[in-house]
Amino acid sequence: PGESFRWSPAANVTGVQRAFKVSVRDRSSLASDKVVTILVEVTGSNAAPTMVAGPVTITGGKQREPKKITYNELKTLLNPQDTDSENITFVATSITYGTMMKGGVQLLPYTGSLTNDAAINNKIGFGEEVVFLPDSTTSGTPEIIRVRAYDGAVYSAEVVVRLELQTVYQTPTLTSVNDFTGLTQAQDYSFTYENLRDKSVSFASPDETPTARLKFKVKSIPATSGKLYRITSALGDPVVTEELNTTSIIAPADRLLWSPVASAYGRVIGFTTTAIFEHPLTGGVTFQESVQAVPVYFNLARVNTPPQFANAGTKITGAYEDVPYILTYDKLLSNYPGTDTESGALTYMIQTLPNDGVYKKLSGSSVSPAITVGNLPLALLPGEAILWTPPANFSGDKEIFTAKLRDNDNAVSTETKSIVVQVTGVNDLPEYAANYYKLPGTSKNFSGGQVITWAQVAAAIPATDQESDAISYRIESVGSGTLRLGEFNNGVAITAGLPEAMPRLVQNGGNGTTTVEKLNWTPPLNATGEFLVMTVRACDPTGCALSTREAKIQITGDNTAPTLANTDIKLGLDNGFTNAGTNQNSPLQITYETLRVASGANDSDLTPVSFRIYTLESGKLAVTTFNGTT
């Protein structure tokens, strides 16, 4: 108390000036909670404030983001000058492209007379700041405010203030796409960008303009569903397409074609897509894309397609001559496969059967009676089989039946396939005829031996072979006489041995050792009647008959009586014997050989002779036999 201040205004200022601020204190130096500004009205001649001509630009703004603007920023840009006042306030006279807030109060443009003072919500004073809220679509460098400098009495000229708003692109949205309907299985479907957009739900972006429209980006195309194409040819021209992939963009004016796989029907996902907005390079990116890819479905009415055979087929192997063969469904499917666009198991429908062979159907543990033409057409299902007995002795390729394919909707293939089985031959052993005969006869002691040919044996022991293979006769054993290889009686004599090692009589091509075309047989000396020459077995190149046959021959001829050269025989030295007869009362040992030589006994048939004692003239006679008995 008792003190005073002297305040001197700045040079040349007039009007209300902000002089200083004060608070109050007590003796304990406790200050008031408020600070007040001391305003001093300075009278005198007032010069109008001035600013740059403008427009000026505030930088650092972003689209759809608030921008703080301080008094000092404006002062720096506008450079206000007033020769008689430092207390400059900025008065907004126009606000565009958004809203400007000062604290919790909206800053409004002053539209009153320039001779009046503007309201507080029209001014930006020293130390204050405002926040500009741009409209959502505003970007670039728009004019946001016009201001005048105000010194409390006079306004300056109006200056335009712009704000640089960097474009901030928003993420577009796409929540779903309604199904395409009215399609038919296995038929292509064409549509346009506009068709796809019309079916899209929440397909939007605040950045979209009539000249910068949203697009679709393909994210996936399931190969099991079909393919997606862009039609590149002009309307009315033959359709030319390019296949799309997971990097393809669908743009306005695009015409598209979706080609489903033949087997697809029902609600089928054709592709997935996102919404995309392309823009100039901003912040390192050139587009904004919706977050989640959504599926695009096509509803296809089912149309059953008849099945068909996949290829010409491959003949079935594994069957053998005269052996029943089981033809399974799986084997038939493997060698004569079928295809069906609707998938599912196929049925083989047997259409015709040949008039030979026996057929039965196996289903689980049951066996059907023999199948006849009256059972046709006959269905063969998965898990079933045909038991086929080939015609007797058949080998080679055989059409066992014809068949068509049938699907689960009873559609039948147009093609009828001939099912062929390869039957591997199994050798049939030679078989003998019911009757057999003797070899051509010969005569007793025939000079040079009897020649026996293959033809003679074949005529005597007829044999046949199912495969018409050449038949040979293997010599199992020799009966009587001597049997030699070749036609001459000086050939190698055949002796007993292992059956596999015994020689064979062949029709031609003999090698002279293991195979011969002729044999020579020398019968027993002076033999007549029926004799066993040999035992034979008919063979083909692979095997031999299960049984043997005897080759016999008839020998004809008369027996000549033996002769004696001497009638009375004296056993003594004068007869050429080394010993005289015998001594008195001593027995004489007389051998067969002594009698033969002494008597001159002979047989023109060359058979051994024997001596028969007719009468005993004197003494006693004891005969010692060959086994030692007397």
φ/ψ of 197, rounded to 5, equals: -65, -40
What's the whole-model pTM score?
0.46
Contact 405, 311 (CB under 8 A): no
pLDDT for 16 equals 76
Residue type for 348, please?
Answer: Y
Q: Above 70 in pLDDT, residue 11?
A: no
Both tokens assigned to 511: 């090698």
Contact 479, 533 (CB under 8 A): yes
Both tokens assigned to 453: 């040919």
| Listed range (3-7, 194-198, 432-436, 470-474) with the worst mean pLDDT | 3-7
Q: Above 90 in pLDDT, residue 233?
A: yes
Q: Above 60 in pLDDT, residue 110?
A: yes
Residues above pLDDT 70, as percent of the chain: 96
Residues 149 and 162: their CA atoms lie apart, in Å, by 17
For the ranges 338-352, 531-545, 573-587, the maximum mean pLDDT occurs at: 531-545
Residues 563 and 560: their CA atoms lie apart, in Å, by 9
Contact 170, 207 (CB under 8 A): yes
Confidence of residue 445 (pLDDT cuts 50, 70, 90): confident
Contact 599, 569 (CB under 8 A): yes
Read off the pLDDT of each residue in 476-496 and give the average, rounded to a whole number.
Answer: 94
Residues 471 and 458: their CA atoms lie apart, in Å, by 9
pLDDT for 74 equals 97
Confidence of residue 573 (pLDDT cuts 50, 70, 90): low
Q: Among 533, 555, 553, which Cα is nearest to 476's?
A: 533
User: Sheet holding 255-260: strands in order across?
Assistant: 189-192, 255-260, 226-231, 241-243
pLDDT for 590 equals 82
Read off the pLDDT of each residue in 56-84 and give the average, rounded to a whole number.
Answer: 94
pLDDT for 362 equals 97
pLDDT for 610 equals 84
pLDDT for 329 equals 97
Contact 332, 321 (CB under 8 A): no
Angle ∠(25,26,32) on CA atoms, nearest 5:
40
Give the count of beta carbons closer than 10 Å to the beta carbon of residue 347.
Answer: 21
pLDDT for 76 equals 96
pLDDT for 427 equals 86
Q: Above 60 in pLDDT, residue 575?
A: no
- The alpha-carbon radius of gyration of the chain (Å, integer) is 66
Residues 446 and 527: their CA atoms lie apart, in Å, by 10
Please give the C-alpha separations between residue 347 and each of 305, 359, 362, in angstroms, as whole numbers: 15, 18, 15
Q: Above 90 in pLDDT, residue 535?
A: yes
Q: Above 80 in pLDDT, residue 297?
A: yes
pLDDT for 106 equals 96
| Longest Cα–Cα distance in the chain | 219
Q: Among 363, 360, 336, which Cα is nearest to 348's?
A: 336
Q: Above 60 in pLDDT, residue 578?
A: no
Query: How confident is the prediction for the chain on average, in pLDDT?
Result: 91
The domains located in the chain, with CATH, are: 1-161 (no CATH), 176-301 (2.60.40), 319-341+348-424 (2.60.40), 431-556 (2.60.40.10), 560-630 (no CATH)
Q: Above 80 in pLDDT, residue 243?
A: yes
pLDDT for 47 equals 84
| DSSP per residue, 73-90 | HHHHHH--B-TT----EE
Residue 1's Cβ-count burial label (10 Å; 0-12, 13-18, 19+) is exposed
pLDDT for 606 equals 67
Give the count of beta carbons closer than 10 Å to the beta carbon of residue 318.
Answer: 12
Return the HEC string of 301-333: ECCCCCCEECCCCCCEEEEECCCCEEEEHHHHH
pLDDT for 548 equals 95
Contact 354, 401 (CB under 8 A): yes
| DSSP per residue, 222-256 | -TTTEEEEEE-SPTTSPP-EEE--TT-EE-TT-EE
Q: Above 70 in pLDDT, residue 626?
A: no
Among positive and negative, which fits the CA dihedral 573, 579, 585, 590? negative
Q: Comparing 584 with 74, which gets the higher pLDDT?
A: 74
Residues 262 and 411: their CA atoms lie apart, in Å, by 16
467 Cβ contact list (under 8 Å, min separation 6): 425, 427, 428, 540
pLDDT tens, position by position, 24-48: 888 888 888 888 888 888 776 678 9
C-alpha 192: how far from chain center? 37
Q: Helix %, strand %, coil % for the chain, to 5?
A: 10, 40, 55
Q: Above 90 in pLDDT, residue 3?
A: no
Both tokens assigned to 368: 């059907």
Read off the pLDDT of each residue in 298-306 and give the average, rounded to a whole number.
Answer: 92
End-to-end CA distance of the chain: 198
Read off the pLDDT of each residue in 98-121 and give the average, rounded to a whole number.
Answer: 94
Confidence of residue 280 (pLDDT cuts 50, 70, 90): confident
Give the count of beta carbons closer than 10 Å to the beta carbon of residue 114.
Answer: 14
pLDDT for 12 equals 64
ω into 377 cis (within 30 of 0): yes
Query: SS3 of 553, please?
Result: strand
Residues 350 and 368: their CA atoms lie apart, in Å, by 15
Confidence of residue 553 (pLDDT cuts 50, 70, 90): very high
pLDDT for 574 equals 54
Residues 353 and 359: their CA atoms lie apart, in Å, by 9
Q: Among 235, 240, 251, 257, which Cα is nearest to 183's?
A: 257
Residues 415 and 409: their CA atoms lie apart, in Å, by 17
Please give the C-alpha separations between residue 252 and each of 24, 175, 240, 258, 275, in angstroms, as whole numbers: 73, 19, 19, 17, 12
Residues 484 and 410: their CA atoms lie apart, in Å, by 76
